[in-house]
Amino acid sequence: MSQETAFTSQRVLLSSTSNVGPATIYVQDGKVTRIEREYKPDGALVDAGTKLIMPGVVDAHVHINQPGRTQWEGVVTASHAAAAGGVTSIIDMPLNCIPSTVTVDAYNQKRTSFKDGMWVDVGTWGGVVPGNASDLVPMLEAGARGFKCFLCDSGVDEFPPVNEEQLRLAMTELKKKNGKL
């Protein structure tokens, strides 16, 4: 177990935009262990003074387009832009990359391609397309956060829409592991 670390400021966003005040946040092993509603600069690793401490923003709909279309945007530019805007976590959409993230092999290829470019936490959605029901649970087990599908043309040839029967099959598969669609 590591030592507890303290972050303090006279301005900490506690629960809403109207609830900003002095506080000290204690973190151990990457998790917030407690919050005291007072400014305690003595002994704090980070004393932000009057600068605002707030939770990072999560953007759950990002098109990184890597591998295959990094000229549109890759993990380096996407994660740099996110970090510059205060976003600490992004979740990548499964289409626009080549191959689309619709098989466990494509999922693993995408994750491997991200290895050296992440400046923020990056998660990945998997895709549901006709004929890939057997890949859904393996993608969940590999780390997919959930799944996206289209019921109409996606505009991307590699990511065709599913019909009602295929959608029901995907839901049946995902239910086995409490997967999200």
pLDDT of residue 1: 64
The conformation of residue 53, written as its DSSP 8-state character, comes to E
Give the pLDDT confidence of 56-80 residue by residue, as tens digits: 889 999 999 888 888 888 899 999 9
Maximum separation of any 2 CA atoms in the chain, in Å: 62
Residue 33 in contact with residue 27, Cβ under 8 Å?
A: yes
pLDDT of residue 11: 94
Of 40, 35, 33, the residue nearest 54 (C-alpha): 35
Indicate the pTM of the whole model. 0.77
pLDDT of residue 43: 74
Residue 66 in contact with residue 110, Cβ under 8 Å?
A: yes
Q: Is the peptide bond before 130 cis (omega within 30 degrees of 0)?
A: no
Distance CA 52, CA 76 (A): 26
DSSP sequence for 24-45 = EEEEETTEEEEEESS---TT-S
Give the pLDDT confidence of 30-42 residue by residue, as tens digits: 889 999 998 988 7
pLDDT of residue 79: 92
Distance CA 15, CA 30 (A): 20
CB atoms within 10 A of CB 21: 13
Strands 126-127 and 147-148 turn out to be: parallel
Distance CA 161, CA 57 (A): 30
The residues of the chain scoring below 50 in pLDDT are: none
pLDDT of residue 116: 80
Residue type (1 letter), 142: A
**R_g of the chain computed on alpha carbons:** 20
